Structure 1
Amino acid sequence: MPGAGTRPAITRSEPPARLLDVTRLASRAGRGLTGVDRVERAYLQHLLACPGPLFGLARTVTGFALLDRDGMAALLDRVDGRQDWGAADLVARMARRLTPMRQRADADLRRLAAARSSRIGLKWLLRRRLPERTAYINVGHSNLTPRVIRGLRALPGATIAVMIHDTIPLDFPDFQRAGTVERFRALLALVGRHADLILANSQQTERDTRRWLTAMGLKARYQTALLGVDMPAPDPDALPDGLGIARPYFVCLGTIEPRKNHALLLDAWEEMARTMPPDALPLLVVAGSRGWRNEAVFDRLDRMANDPKSGIREVAGLSDRAVAALLSGAAGLLQPSFAEGYGLPCAEAAALQIPVICSDLPVYREMLGDIPVYLSPSDSYSWIKNIKQLTQAHGNTPRGRSQATDLPTWTSHFKVVLRVT
């Protein structure tokens, strides 16, 4: 691969063709979108509204699928549920490692493709089908491999921009699944060596990425652009039956993993259940899928969620509209994380003018300013005090302490990003 000194300049006088990697987004078929997935979806939606040549690249079980603008629009329809995924074909069904929904998505990618190639044929596919100076954008990290980079470098004038969302796997290795740290270190090194531009979702992420790449002896070009906040309309009918949230409740939103620090909230609810009258105890809705290395928290959730006196509810697999409905009725969002790359749930709650209590992390202050109440992720006394205050105020005071106009927007994000990619 060419070294940094041979990379083409990424600044141009007119918009180039753009090639968005949509491998991760297609892989989420049948599952709810995570924060990173939603960023990739926002890029897909925005680029479809922009003039100029647009293509999508996705890895499939047989190699690669190249989508044109029509194929990208059809993909978005499927991701958003306006169109069902098609039936899995024989090739997809033979990939037994894929879930049935992913088999359907894989088959659809090949049906929607304007062109396809085997794994070894990618560079010829790109050279044959894409104009020179195409700008490749990868925000989800799926499909970011040496093979893809070699294929892009075979296209004259092509540039590579990769978004880094955080360096948490390297900063907090004890919170990670087995193998995650090594894989992320290798990916970051690959980006540092070969990307023409690193997109950072915050100044904090840029600082962290610079620190790690410098330690690896690598230099890179950076552009920071805060992610936008775009909540869908709440849909109360999308909430599951039997959630039982008639009295004031709080929400903790996100994957149940160690760095999210759910244990602090479970401690707080156990203390409040012990000291408060049962009819005064607010509810805590833990909304998110179960993650990894968190067996003690899972055991407590199993016990507390089955005890009607605990005030704990657990729910997973909510759609975006259901999440918006859940947040809209909450007395507050509680996010006691030890670390966050961006923390979209806090921004989304603020956009709905729902009170936010979160850990005092630099990225939250950069993104949200003085909107939340900031607390130490280890000070359970202060969390209990503020939770009680918000419970008493719920329904009696104006919602939230901010206006949605104070928050970052996708318009401002893309105004920055599309100027440099």
Structure 2
Amino acid sequence: MSLADIFLDVTRLVSRAWTKRRSTGIDRVCEAYCRHFQSRARAVVQHRGIVRVLDQGNSRKLFSMLLEPGENIRLEVLRFASLILPLAPSRIEGNGALYINTSHTDFDLPSHHRWVEECNLRAVYFLHDLIPLTHPRLTSAHAVKRHLGRVRGAIWHGAGVIVNTRATEMELRSFARKRALDVPPVVVAPLAGGQICQVPTQEPADAVIALDAAHDDHLALSDQTPYFVCLGTIERRKNYRMLLRVWGELAKDFGKGCPKLVIIGQEGREAREIFDAYYANRDLQDLVTFRTNATDAEAARLIKGARALLMPSHAEGYGLPVIEALQMGVPVIANDIPSFREIGQGIAFLLNINDEAGWKRAIGRFAFADDERDRQLEMMGRFEPPTWTSHFAILDPWLDRLKTVPQAQNERIEVEC
């Protein structure tokens, strides 16, 4: 591809730099695309229909700022936004170049698609999941409406769609089939684990981990304490309330020898109901702790020392923590859903989400010596973690071929890789 034939939407990365929230899975994808395309892309920043397209020089400055944020990142973003963005054009002549949006940002809006058409761009959208549509009870009516708009927008207006798993692709095709819609070209490109996999974990194993809620309780972990880890936003979809119920039962069986649980993640929608369930059972506060502001180094250390990573999510488009745990040689117990079957490569131990007794038995067994846990450890050597190199080895030729296909031709492009 020639220089500047990619227009990369970095709206979400700008927003995250401003809020200074820790990276989620989607953020890490945005970062990877920014890093991969930074030398040959122009940056696009949009907000509710107001779009700015940066020239290559300012794009590279913004990419560098976002990929290597300093201590004063908010001030830097504010200065850049006030000085550069107002002077950047909204409309450009794209000459059929590709516009890539990896962040679910605003492509549910008609004004966005008008902008793409007026700029003569070909839009490629990354759909990370269809969860608000397949599991509407796990989110809000507003989120369902917006995601419905995104999926329809990607199908109606996209020159191509990127997905992370065959499972997501199947959900997208099922959605379209039920509505008699033709799907644009689709590529499946698995995601790599985050920086957490490369973080050194040589810190002492024994530690006192303070709860992030404002109180004085603490949970001590050491080499002698069997514990489990969850990694993911604290929200209803992750099914943490089920784990709290399981831990309440484990406490009855194991008493003082009960394994412990560390939940690592930022507070999301309806986190309050999870914390309320936690505080309602005083025994849990000696066994379970939340880390809502953990660094990558702390998360890596905690995962590395855990008996297993637990992923009881009701639904996932992908599940980066599964990849990251297996890459670090840590066993996984997860809900038996299509995405986990796909990325777990036959190693992760999968359980029915409704079988709480089965979850209790598995956790109790994994806490100590167990044949199933040993099986996973023995199979770690065959795990082939996706990498960003392998991701873009799939994506780049697909994008090259996409540019040669008439936009109205809604046939899937197969890529040998």
- Do the two structures share a fold, i.e. TM-score over 0.5? yes
Is 1:22 matched up with 2:10? yes
More displaced stretch, 252-261 vs 71-80: 71-80
Is 1:267 matched up with 2:255? no
Partner of 1:376: 352
2:190 to 209, 218, 226: 226
Paired residue secondary structure (2:363) = helix
Q: How much has 1:383 moved relative to structure 2?
A: 1.5
Q: For the structure 1 residues 87 and 252, does the alpha-carbon distance in structure 2 shift closer, same or farther, using more than 3 Å as the test? A: closer
Q: How much has 1:114 moved relative to structure 2?
A: 10
Paired residue secondary structure (2:248) = helix
Which ranges of structure 2 fall in alignment gaps of 5 or more residues?
211-218, 400-417
1:180 to 138, 143, 160: 143
Q: CA RMSD, aligned part only?
A: 3.0
Say if 1:227 and 1:408, in contact at 8 Å, map to a contact too: yes
Note the 1:149-298 alignment, pairs <5 A.
Answer: 149-156=113-120, 158-221=121-184, 222-232=186-196, 233-234=198-199, 242=210, 244-246=220-222, 247-278=225-256, 280-293=257-270, 295-298=272-275
| TM-score normalized with structure 2 length | 0.81
1:89-124 C-alpha deviation (Å, 9 max, x unpaired) = xxxxxxxxxxxxxxx63443454659514xxxx22x
Paired residue secondary structure (1:166) = coil
Partner of 1:116: 88
Q: What CA distance in whole angstroms lies between the structure 2 residues aligned with 1:249 and 1:84?
A: 34
Q: How much has 1:182 moved relative to structure 2?
A: 1.2
Q: For the structure 1 residues 346 and 299, does the alpha-carbon distance in structure 2 shift closer, same or farther, using more than 3 Å as the test? A: same
Aligned length: 378
Q: For the structure 1 residues 211 and 16, does the alpha-carbon distance in structure 2 shift closer, same or farther, using more than 3 Å as the test? A: farther
1:298-330 C-alpha deviation (Å, 9 max, x unpaired) = 2122345x6576411111122333322221121
Note the 1:21-420 alignment, pairs <5 A.
Answer: 21-29=9-17, 30-48=20-38, 53-59=40-46, 63-68=50-55, 71-80=58-67, 82-86=69-73, 88=75, 105-111=77-83, 116-117=88-89, 122-123=90-91, 126-127=92-93, 132-144=95-107, 145-156=109-120, 158-221=121-184, 222-232=186-196, 233-234=198-199, 242=210, 244-246=220-222, 247-278=225-256, 280-293=257-270, 295-304=272-281, 307=283, 310-393=286-369, 399=377, 401-403=379-381, 406-420=384-398
Say if 1:68 and 1:114, in contact at 8 Å, map to a contact too: no
Paired residue secondary structure (1:392) = coil
1:146-196 C-alpha deviation (Å, 9 max, x unpaired) = 33332232334x211001111111111111123111111122112211100
Q: What CA distance in whole angstroms lies between the structure 1 residues aligned with 2:58 and 2:350?
A: 44
Q: What CA distance in whole angstroms lies between the structure 2 residues aligned with 1:74 and 1:240?
A: 41
Say if 2:326 and 2:383, in contact at 8 Å, map to a contact too: no
Q: How much has 1:78 moved relative to structure 2?
A: 4.0
Counterpart amino acid of residue 336 in structure 1: P
Say if 1:234 and 1:323, in contact at 8 Å, map to a contact too: no
Q: For the structure 1 residues 43 and 338, does the alpha-carbon distance in structure 2 shift closer, same or farther, using more than 3 Å as the test? A: same
Which ranges of structure 1 fall in alignment gaps of 5 or more residues?
1-12, 89-103
Q: How much has 1:141 moved relative to structure 2?
A: 1.5
Counterpart amino acid of residue 342 in structure 2: E
Partner of 2:402: none
Say if 1:286 and 1:314, in contact at 8 Å, map to a contact too: yes
Say if 1:177 and 1:293, in contact at 8 Å, map to a contact too: no
Say if 2:308 and 2:332, in contact at 8 Å, map to a contact too: yes
Paired residue secondary structure (2:53) = strand
> Structure 1 vs Structure 2: percent identity of aligned residues?
29
Counterpart amino acid of residue 356 in structure 2: S
Q: What CA distance in whole angstroms lies between the structure 2 residues aligned with 1:190 and 1:300?
A: 39
Say if 2:163 and 2:188, in contact at 8 Å, map to a contact too: yes
Q: What CA distance in whole angstroms lies between the structure 1 residues aligned with 2:378 and 2:360?
A: 19
Paired residue secondary structure (1:408) = coil
Paired residue secondary structure (1:19) = strand
| TM-score normalized with structure 1 length | 0.80
